[in-house]
Amino acid sequence: MSQAREAVIAAAFAKLDRTGDGVVTVDDLRGVYSGWAHPKVRSGEWTEDEALHQFLDNFDTLEKDGQVTLAEFQDYYSGLSASMDTDSEFVAMVSSAWRL
């Protein structure tokens, strides 16, 4: 992966890692990602915490320990990166997704 792609992934991860400890947890997600808009939360099927856990699980790919490391975050985005032809396209997508 190019330096430009790695840099935007690292910036997105840093935005999520509110405590700066190198891992993203559900506590880090609070205030960055709102689970209230999720359809299952709105219907009462899930709590907001359950929605946050489900969201985090998308990235928690290596150890399934409730914590996402930068390596796991990069691993998630490596698949998306491979499907995008240009760095600028990938950087724009990640920047838009995470409001960087």
In this prediction, residue 61 carries a pLDDT of 82
pLDDT tens-digit readout, 7-20: 999 999 999 999 99
Of 77, 68, 75, 71, the C-alpha closest to 95 is: 77
Residue 30, pLDDT > 90, answer no
Find the helix or strand (DSSP H, E) in which 76 lies.
Answer: helix 70-82
* CATH 1.10.238.10 at 3-98, yes or no: yes
Report pTM: 0.87
- Between CA 68 and CA 65 the distance in angstroms is 8
CA distances for 86 relative to 43, 79, 80, 83, 94, angstroms? 40, 14, 12, 9, 13
Domain boundaries, the chain: 3-98
pLDDT tens-digit readout, 65-79: 999 999 999 999 998
